[in-house]
Each structure stands twice: as structure tokens, then as C-alpha cells.
Structure 1
């Protein structure tokens, strides 16, 4: 026994016909390296454009996600022994409660929406995405158990009344959060907060998040291009409402309240987290530049014809250009 409580969440129960990946056999170092390389590099073999909404675009998107699947098993991940000071600092990071809860919501919302899709390939890709979110939650739960991190009680999650809304909220949330997580993870590596062995353990999870938002960006383009005019108008209105909701949430105007009325931890922890993982702190400009660089690096191995999430990287690049412009003027 490893002290890890079994999670009974079942993607196949929400997505009829989905066959979860079979447990991977034990792999040697060469096989692990090959699986990691496959996860990071993929190209559609046929030449020509991948027009959003076309069958070819949808097929390539689903094939990318399937071909880049990494069969690592959370149960055999090696959690290194940490020096007491390093362990205490990691335990004190203000991210673990919301990280575990976010993965729990993501798996449910993705599976609920996947179950509504008629296209079998896209349905299977989104169901696999939900299965991988479940695996991320398993990884985090095992880390929490390994290092004795105390978590707040996890609320019961219910399927969303509007599965498409739930999937859009989750997808765009991941596009925002992953952009900053890429930079924060690299900052933690450079600062030494995450020892090399722990970086290696978490690295597959970080790259999987890159695959997830690559899938989401291409699903969104594929889906909207196939809608009729009126349905497209409704969809774009829903997307705009999702962005408004996420902006409201992240600037702290919407607060989750616990049972005692005290403010629970919200989603706006990026800069707090940055100060926690760097001994000397980090400036906003340096953090944005690192996030942009890490975002570009993680997407570099995938076919350039597949669409990337664009909104947050564009806003970050705009902020950096404005900072340089005003810096020169001063």
C-alpha cells in the first residue's frame, strides 16, 4: 500500500464507448525517453493546409492527441526524498488545494461534454483528455500523500447543467493557467525550489497540459467553423460570456466563501506563486518574458499548421512591448 486513496471517477461512465488506456507495462529508460519524445513532437504526414472545420483538420487534431499519448503511471512515479527546508517550502506553496480541485472539475466537465459529441474521433479525444485530467489528479494526490501536504476538504463536484459552457470555462481556464504555469515551473526549476528529481517527475504533467490546450484550441476552431450562422452567433456570445466570467474571477471580484464566511483561496495566485518559488522574487516583466519563452518552447515540437492558444500570449507580448516602450521614454 502507498497510502493513496483510490479515486473511483470513471470517464467511461459519462462517455459511452470510451475505452480507457490499458496500464502500461514496466519500461526501461530508453522506452521512457521514446515515449517522452513522442509526446513532444508530432506532424501531420500529408502536406497542405489544415483548414479549420474541415474533416482533415478534425482528423489531424484527434490523431495528434492520440499519437502523443504518454503511458506513464502515477503509481510508479518516483517521489524523491527532499531536504527538510525544501520540503517545507514546497508544502507552503499556496497552490495545492486549488490544483487538486481544479483537476477534479476539469475531468468531470470534459467527460460530460465529450459524452454529448456525435463525432466519434473528437468524442474519443476529449474523453482521453478527461482521463488524463484524472491522472493529473492522481499524481497530485500521490504527491500530497508523499510529502504530507494538508488539503482542505474537497467539495463534491456535479456535472454542469450546460456541458458546453462547462467545457469552455475549463478549456479557456487551462489556456490562461497553463501559460503562467509553464513560466512558474521553469522559475521553480531555476531557483532550485524544485530539485532536479522532482522536476523530472512533474515534467510529463506539464507537457500534457500543453497538449490539452493544443487540443482545445483546435477543437474550438473546428467546432465554430462547422456551425450554422445562428448557432455560430450563439456560440460566440457564449465564448464572450466565458471570457467575462474568467476575467471577473481572476481579478478577485468573485470570491469563493468557505463555511465560516472567510475567503477561500481564489484562482488569482500567479504572482503570489512567483514570489514563493524565487528566493529574490521576480518582476512582472521578467515573469511575462519567461512565460512567453516557455510557452513557445513547449509548443515548438507540434505541427505548425495546428492552431495554438493565442489570446494570453498575445496580451503578454503586448504588455512586454508597452513596458519596453515606456521604459525607453523614461
Structure 2
């Protein structure tokens, strides 16, 4: 199995025919930024009638959505605001940066590997752009860490996946889980006032981009399974079930990690609870956090065509948990 150094990611070499999307030179003005953010949040297909999963119309709409809602922000020109000492300490102390950077590094390669394997050129281009955006997220995190003196753990080379479909499913469903909670935590951070509003605003395009990513994934999964003959669909559903079991086990257990000084330590893969305490100062209950996650999930998806499928598993599980908590 070949490995890719952490700082080398040649998407055009992995996915033949891919070309990076155009990005504006210099720093865009406030009007251009506002318009880019609006386009990233709102999209409706010009096609009339239902978008049946697996159909040509569904595929066209999904891929068109992902192209049209692209936000051309450049990590190099993002403005990292000056922070007071207390805010800086809170940022540096958040237990997420190492795993966030490494997760993006793995995601970009897994998505690129699966995009390379796709025969459909339009869906292949959409997934390749998704991989490109994951690499941009990694760049954003690295630049933020450098701006605030956050010491990141050394990155090991990223391994080319043996089974690209399995790797893509693990990444896609993992993002569905993590993004659902991240939406709520992000809003909790905004409302708590513990973090500079300018810093929260800087990360807003990244958060909405994650919403686009899992919208693409949910519709790819529906498109893909609908096109499979019944015997291959049984295998696919078994693989999906295995992925969910794997992700559940991963989040229950403790993942080994390397700290900034090279020492091994245990790091909880499910950092939702510790993250909630960090961004709110402990001022939010588990029930309130789950309700906030549901509201933010609905809000972030509200601007996209209602005929496109939304990730449904995490919202359903949390609504069920809330009923039990009553």
C-alpha cells in the first residue's frame, strides 16, 4: 500500500482530468464575500418534478448543486483576528486540533481515491471537488494553528485505501456524525461569547462547506444504491452496516495519539462532550446541546432544494434520545 506525505496532495495526478476551481486574486470586498456566502447556502434546481434517487435528473441536480454552491474563499487571505489572552488560551486548549487536521488529511485522500474509481464523469468531478475542499479545510486549520501558536502533532504519511468504497463510506458517514454535532457546538460557541465574533465568522464558510459535503454524500449514497442490482445492493447494505458498527466502536473506544512533544497519550475520538464544555464554559446541558444541534442542522440545510435528500440517521437518533430523556 502506497503512502502520501502529509504536505503532498496532487489531486490532478490522482483524478485524471481534475482542474482546481478558479479563485479570485487578492482579498475580496465585503459585497463579494456576502454574495459568495449567499450562493453557498441557497440553491434550487431548475428541473421540474421529482428527483428520483438513481435517476439521471437526480444525478444532474446533485452535481450541479455542488458546483454552483462552491465558495471561492482562499485560506491564504483569511483574516485571523487578534485575540485577548483569555480567548487565546481557550483556543489553544481545545482538544480537537490534532485530530481535526489529521481527519481532513485522511478524508481528502479517501475521497480522491474513490472519485478516481468512478465511471460517471459528472459524479467523479463532484467527489474530486469535495476532496479538493477537504484539502482546503486542512490548509485553513494549519494556518490558524500557525497564527495562534497551536502546536500540532506530527502527521504520519496517509495510506492509500485498500478498498476505496469502504474508505469513502467511513469518511462520509463519519462526517455526517461529526458535522451534526459540530453545527450545534459552533452555534454554542457563537452564543457563549467566549470566543471573538470575528474568529467565529472566519470559520463560518468552513462550517457551511461541511453541510454541502454531507448533502452530497447523502445523495451520492441514494444515487449509488438505487443503481445497483439486488445482489450487489445486499452487499452494499451489509458494508454500510459494517461501517456504522465500526464508527460506533471507534467513538466508544479511545484512540491513541501523539502529543506535541512526541509522547503517546489517549485521546477520546468522541470529543463532543468535552468540546461543549470548552466552548460554553460548562453552561449547556446534554439535552440543550442536542436540541441546538437539531435546530442548527435544519437551519443549515434549509436553503437547499427540498427534493435533495438530507442525512437522516443522526437527527433521527437524537430525536429518539430526546423523547427518552423526557
TM-score bracket for the superposition, by shorter chain length: over 0.9
| Distance in 2, Cα, partners of 1:258 & 1:142 | 20
Corresponding residue of 1:300: 302
Matched, 1:110 2:106: no
Matched, 1:23 2:23: yes
* RMSD (Å), alpha carbons: 1.5
| Distance in 2, Cα, partners of 1:58 & 1:23 | 26
Alpha-carbon shift at residue 258 of structure 1 (Å): 5.2
- Paired residues of 2:104 and 2:134 also in contact (CA < 8 A): yes
Alpha-carbon shift at residue 275 of structure 1 (Å): 0.7
| Distance in 1, Cα, partners of 2:266 & 2:16 | 36
Alpha-carbon shift at residue 31 of structure 1 (Å): 1.2
TM-score of the two chains, using structure 2 as the length reference: 0.95
Corresponding residue of 1:50: 51
The 3-state SS of whatever aligns with 1:256 is strand
- Paired residues of 1:61 and 1:306 also in contact (CA < 8 A): yes
Question: Which structure 1 residue ranges, 5 or more long, are not aligned?
Answer: 1-5, 325-330
CA deviation profile, 1:209-248 (whole Å, cap 9, x unmatched)? 0000000000000000001111101100100000000000
CA deviation profile, 1:291-326 (whole Å, cap 9, x unmatched)? 0000000000000100000000111111112212xx
Corresponding residue of 1:82: 83
Matched, 1:65 2:66: yes
TM-score of the two chains, using structure 1 as the length reference: 0.93
| Distance in 2, Cα, partners of 1:261 & 1:143 | 23
- Paired residues of 1:42 and 1:302 also in contact (CA < 8 A): yes
Corresponding residue of 1:229: 230
**1:228-247 residue pairs with structure 2 within 5 A?**
228-247=229-248
Corresponding residue of 1:158: 159
| Distance in 2, Cα, partners of 1:167 & 1:202 | 25
- Paired residues of 1:90 and 1:193 also in contact (CA < 8 A): no
Corresponding residue of 1:264: 266
Alpha-carbon shift at residue 10 of structure 1 (Å): 1.4
Question: Which structure 2 residue ranges, 5 or more long, are not aligned?
Answer: 1-5
| Distance in 2, Cα, partners of 1:11 & 1:158 | 15
- Paired residues of 1:36 and 1:70 also in contact (CA < 8 A): yes
